[in-house]
């Protein structure tokens, strides 16, 4: 027994540990720094470098030292609104854009200021529930299923809402597509149906589209097209622009939800103040876009798409249940076909699955439970990002963009990823 | 009457407005962009540019894109610890440094995780009380007086604590010196006495020393020298390094308070994640220090000191009550000698004082009430920073550092500041 420290902590914080995605990253990095080999499918970080014009813009603005407006630099807000107008064909107005140090922070502020129920379909991004815990709130989880492609269906949503006593209490539904952890996305029709239900019950939608530009076929559609008056679009530099470590996220509000934006900005002014000035200036370049950035995105999508398909085939050939990836750089396989064999190794939960796999093979994935799935469900998130983004981009640029990438490309440039997949399937089937 | 919007907001947030220091800045900037003349004594921003080697370091690291460890990049934490060891002659260990996007955000996290009373002497920095309000907490304000140089005295603190029923309940006392809004600091003896009381009652001290390097004679002393086991030192790039807009603050903990640091880091991992990577790399250069940065600080101090003394004499000659500035770039004058004349203009509160002055003369100061002073007390904060930091630094560099700056220097390089002071005193005495 160790003596308890004399601590005086907010009870909501006690027992809270570091975000699992960041924790696994730090664990892996420590192992790597000791020279140990790790197949890291744990982290949700883009493998690609920040596009050159965006890095150049940061260099150019390195001297900017002033506190910027709490909601964000106006030209940046214009660029963000323009980005959504052009890419997503939605109405978006610079006056209703809020810039924060990551969309995670913005989501926290939203949870802090919104007095109402927050509904999150699972599997979901790892931070929603801990954020609520920190604030002493509860989010309502809505479990989806493998059969539904981990999607929330409009009819199920409608059923849930019409069964309630107080149908019109304030509610916010979170949608994330292409999705973390599943790498799947909604069709325009599905979104249209969800939009209809949302309109009927006056739901606010938080549409997390941070992976929108990483739809593998460039076909991202925003739900804001079908429910503009109730949809907040979340985006940022972290994923499509490869700048996770820069910390810049954006929320774009419909005019009618400006009360949420203003309340969030008031809290922001008492907490992070504003996003780092040089980063904001550089982000203008990213959101304004250019041919160079478009080309970067085409190549990034082509690589992720081909690699995702390859990984998908390797796993499904081995007998793992999973869907063919559609966006981002994630898969959310279900290992239940191996349940009997795994049980023999004393593996009955997703946590045990990932822990044992990591110990025996140094393949790191994140267990389904951190995405709020039931503990016993044998799911896990695989991020197929452990390859050199710069080298593969450079190589892809030598192959005309309208061609398919040859099979050898992946073999040559994403060898580590494929090797990790092999080790995983061998471990499962041995 | 206007129709109320259909809003669903956390009751703690309703009525919260933007931080007054940021709000006045945005108001002044809007006026300036319309070509209107403003004498802006409202903002607490360093007038000096970021030192060249620090800007160069940001350029060099503009491509850094990875998510960094939640607590901060290790070489940066080493540099921060080294900075405090060297500058403040205190024990400081890299393992107990926490890096955040501004010390304001870190203070918010501290208020969020600490389950105990937070005691703040007034006049105090504008964000403590709104932060507590956001969290549905209360901070205990301890009013100090003009006669005590706006300092908390050890005997008063001791009296307060010994009069309590539950003497040893968890408590944290905030000290800020050189102080915002008063520009004054504590002597080593005063700090020693406070340290003794703090030790006796097991207080945790949050020692906000963000202006430490802007002590006008370079003579900053940290209370951590006298109470190392209970003092958290707060610092950052915003003030001494002129990089307020970069958003990087640091807390340096004693080992025994690591439970607070770990809890804050757990919340950080679910909110802002980590501080912007390029900014952290650049901050290493700032905290490691160099002869170039030391010279920058010498010149900055010399300019602020001479300008502060000049402004002090102008105001006290006109009959305003105030203390001779000792650090930072603030004064906290008491206009009560003009109470009768002001009352004739219907000015009975600090808010009315600042509002009327601004309307009639375009001189902007912040009213004493936003620093938690009684509404009727005719105090205000003056930031004497409306001059070109780059030009005055360049000019100062042509005058050997061991010389006094001549009177003409201020006249030539801080004309706008002096003009604002003249307008203020004319308005008071007319």
In this structure, are B242 and B326 located in the same domain? no
d(CA B122, CA B371): 7
In this structure, are A39 and A99 located in the same domain? no
Mean pLDDT of A4-19: 79
- Across the interface, which of A59, A102, A265 has its CB nearest the CB of B59? A59
In this structure, are A78 and A216 located in the same domain? yes
Phi-psi region of B198 (alpha: psi -120 to 50; beta: other; left: phi over 0): alpha
pLDDT band at A6 (very low <50, low <70, confident <90, very high): low
> Which residues in chain A are contacts of B277 at CB distance < 8 A?
245-247
* B167 found inside a domain: yes
Residue A369 has pLDDT above 50, yes or no: yes
Nearest-CA residue of chain B relative to A172?
Answer: B8
Among A244, A261, A288, residue at a domain's last position: A288
ipTM of predicted assembly, 2 dp: 0.95
A97-134 residue pLDDT tens: 999 999 999 999 999 999 999 999 999 999 999 999 99
In this structure, are B323 and B376 located in the same domain? yes
Q: What pLDDT is recorded for position A330?
A: 98
Write down the residue that tokens 């880091």 correspond to.
Answer: B265
Tell if the CB–CB gap between A269 and B18 is shorter than 8 Å.
yes
DSSP state of B370: G
Nearest-CA residue of chain B relative to A44?
Answer: B67
* B11 found inside a domain: no
> Which residues in chain A are contacts of B136 at CB distance < 8 A?
none
Among B289, B310, B335, residue at a domain's last position: B289
Closest CA to A143 of A158, A128, A121, A176: A121
Write down the residue that tokens 């980005």 correspond to.
Answer: A83
d(CA B388, CA A219): 50
Q: What pLDDT is recorded for position B1?
A: 39
CATH code of residue B127: 3.40.640.10
> Which residues in chain A are contacts of B265 at CB distance < 8 A?
18
Q: What pLDDT is recorded for position B56?
A: 98
- Residue A179 tokens read as 């999705």
Q: What pLDDT is recorded for position B6?
A: 65
Among B230, B263, B289, residue at a domain's last position: B289
- Across the interface, which of A9, A62, A127 has its CB nearest the CB of B113? A9
* A14 found inside a domain: no
Q: What pLDDT is recorded for position B2?
A: 46
Distances in whole angstroms, Cα of residue A152 to Cα of each of A120, A184, B333: 10, 12, 61
Tell me if A115 sits within 8 A of A136, measured CB to CB. no
In this structure, are B273 and B309 located in the same domain? no
* CB proximity A229 to B under 8 Å: no
A contact test, residue of B230, B278, B283, B390 with most A CBs within 10 A: B278
CB atoms within 10 A of CB B107: 24
d(CA B363, CA B361): 5
Indicate the number of domains in chain B.
2
- For residue B227, give its domain range: 66-289
* A108 found inside a domain: yes
Q: Chain centroid to CA B144: how far? A: 17
Q: Chain centroid to CA A328: how far? A: 8
Q: Is B218 helix (H, G, I), strand (E, B) or coil?
A: coil
For residue A60, give how far its alpha carbon lies from the nearest alpha carbon of chain B (Å): 8
- Across the interface, which of B65, B101, B272 has its CB nearest the CB of A50? B65
For residue A176, give how far its alpha carbon lies from the nearest alpha carbon of chain B (Å): 17
Tell me if B199 sits within 8 A of B230, measured CB to CB. yes
* B13 found inside a domain: no
Tell if the CB–CB gap between B17 and A266 is shorter than 8 Å.
yes
DSSP state of A325: P
- Residue A69 tokens read as 């407006």
Distances in whole angstroms, Cα of residue A426 to Cα of each of A235, A295, A317, A378: 38, 37, 12, 17
In this structure, are B284 and B299 located in the same domain? no
A136-149 residue pLDDT tens: 998 999 999 999 99
Write down the residue that tokens 């409009």 correspond to.
Answer: A154
In this structure, are B190 and B297 located in the same domain? no
* CB proximity B49 to A under 8 Å: yes
* CB proximity B168 to A under 8 Å: no
Q: What pLDDT is recorded for position A2?
A: 47
d(CA A24, CA A43): 7
CATH code of residue A315: 3.90.1150.10
| Element housing B77 (H / E) | helix B74-88
d(CA A77, CA A202): 27
* CB proximity A228 to B under 8 Å: no
Average pLDDT, chain A: 94
* A402 found inside a domain: yes
Sheet holding B97-100, edge to edge: B97-100, B249-252, B231-236, B204-208, B171-176, B117-122, B140-143
Write down the residue that tokens 């109405």 correspond to.
Answer: A91
In this structure, are A221 and A283 located in the same domain? yes
* A15 found inside a domain: no
Tell if the CB–CB gap between A274 and B108 is shorter than 8 Å.
no
Query: Residue A185 contacts by C-beta under 8 Å, 6 or more apart in sequence?
Result: A177, A178, A179, A215, A220, A326, A327
B contact test, residue of A271, A272, A280, A383 with most B CBs within 10 A: A271
Closest CA to B271 of A6, A319, A382, A249: A249
d(CA B192, CA B169): 23
For residue B338, give how far its alpha carbon lies from the nearest alpha carbon of chain A (Å): 33
- Residue B76 tokens read as 């940066």
Verify cis geometry, omega within 30 degrees of 0, for the bond prior to B178. yes
CB atoms within 10 A of CB B52: 12
Tell if the CB–CB gap between A270 and B243 is shorter than 8 Å.
no
Q: Chain centroid to CA B27: how far? A: 20
A336-360 residue pLDDT tens: 999 999 999 999 999 999 999 999 9
Tell me if A73 sits within 8 A of B245, measured CB to CB. no
Nearest-CA residue of chain A relative to B63?
Answer: A55
* CB proximity A75 to B under 8 Å: no
Q: What pLDDT is recorded for position B3?
A: 47
Greater model confidence, B21 or A421? A421
In this structure, are A268 and A389 located in the same domain? no
Question: What is the percent of chain A with per-residue pLDDT over 70, rounded to a whole number?
Answer: 99
d(CA A191, CA A173): 13
Nearest-CA residue of chain B relative to A101?
Answer: B272
Tell if the CB–CB gap between B10 and A49 is shorter than 8 Å.
no
In this structure, are A380 and A410 located in the same domain? yes
- Give every residue of chain B whose pLDDT is below 70, as ranges: 1-6
* B214 found inside a domain: yes
Verify cis geometry, omega within 30 degrees of 0, for the bond prior to B181. yes
H helices of B166-216, where? 188-200
CB-count exposure of residue B418 (10 Å: 0-12, 13-18, 19+):
middle
Relative to beta strand A249-252, strand A366-367 is unpaired
Write down the residue that tokens 């001297």 correspond to.
Answer: A63
Closest CA to A102 of A290, A204, A241, A203: A241
In this structure, are A258 and A128 located in the same domain? yes
Query: Residue B216 contacts by C-beta under 8 Å, 6 or more apart in sequence?
Result: B301, B304, B305, B308, B325, B326, B327
B151-178 residue pLDDT tens: 999 999 999 888 778 877 899 999 999 9
In this structure, are A406 and A337 located in the same domain? yes
The answer for B 276-335 residues in CB contact with A (under 8 A) is 276-279, 282
For residue B110, give how far its alpha carbon lies from the nearest alpha carbon of chain A (Å): 10
How many CB pairs below 8 Å do chains A and B form together? Answer: 230
A contact test, residue of B33, B52, B242, B245 with most A CBs within 10 A: B245
A contact test, residue of B101, B103, B126, B134 with most A CBs within 10 A: B101
């Amino acid at each position: 027994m160790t003596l308890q420290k004399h601590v005086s902590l907010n009870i909501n914080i006690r027992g809270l540990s570091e975000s699992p995605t960041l924790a696994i990253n730090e664990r892996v990095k420590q192992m790597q720094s000791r020279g140990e080999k790790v197949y890291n499918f744990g982290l949700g970080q883009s493998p690609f470098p920040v596009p050159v014009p965006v890095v150049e813009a940061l260099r150019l603005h390195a001297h900017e030292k002033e506190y910027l407006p709490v909601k964000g630099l106006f030209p940046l807000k214009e660029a963000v609104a323009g980005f959504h107008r052009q890419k997503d064909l939605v109405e978006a107005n610079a006056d209703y854009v809020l810039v924060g140090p990551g969309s995670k922070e913005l989501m926290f502020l939203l949870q802090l200021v919104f007095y109402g129920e927050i509904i999150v379909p699972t599997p979901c991004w790892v931070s929603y529930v801990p954020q609520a815990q920190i604030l002493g709130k509860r989010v309502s989880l809505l479990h989806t299923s493998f059969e539904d492609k981990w999607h929330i269906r409009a009819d199920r949503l409608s059923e849930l809402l019409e069964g309630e006593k107080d149908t019109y209490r304030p509610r916010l539904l979170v949608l994330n597509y292409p999705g973390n952890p599943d790498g799947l996305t909604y069709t325009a029709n599905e979104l249209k149906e969800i939009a209809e239900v949302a309109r009927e019950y006056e739901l606010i939608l938080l549409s997390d589209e941070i992976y929108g530009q990483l739809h593998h076929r460039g076909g991202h559609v925003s739900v804001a097209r079908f429910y503009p008056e109730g949809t907040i679009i979340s985006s940022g530099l972290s994923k499509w622009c490869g700048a996770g470590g820069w910390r810049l996220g954006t929320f774009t509000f419909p005019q009618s939800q400006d009360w949420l934006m203003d309340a969030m900005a008031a809290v922001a002014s008492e907490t992070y103040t504003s996003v780092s000035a040089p980063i904001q200036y550089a982000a203008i370049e990213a959101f304004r876009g250019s041919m160079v950035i478009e080309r970067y995105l085409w190549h990034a999508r082509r690589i992720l798409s081909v690699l995702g398909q390859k990984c998908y085939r390797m796993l499904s050939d081995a007998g793992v249940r999973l869907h063919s990836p559609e966006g981002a750089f994630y898969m959310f396989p279900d290992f239940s076909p191996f349940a009997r064999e795994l049980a023999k190794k004393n593996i009955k939960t997703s946590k045990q699955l990932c822990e044992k796999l990591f110990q025996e093979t140094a393949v790191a994935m994140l267990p389904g439970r951190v995405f709020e799935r039931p503990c016993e469900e044998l799911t896990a998130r695989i991020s197929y990002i452990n390859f050199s983004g710069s080298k593969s981009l450079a190589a892809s640029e030598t192959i005309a963009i309208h061609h398919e990438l040859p099979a050898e490309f992946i073999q040559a440039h994403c060898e580590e990823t494929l090797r990790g997949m092999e080790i995983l399937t061998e471990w499962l089937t041995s």
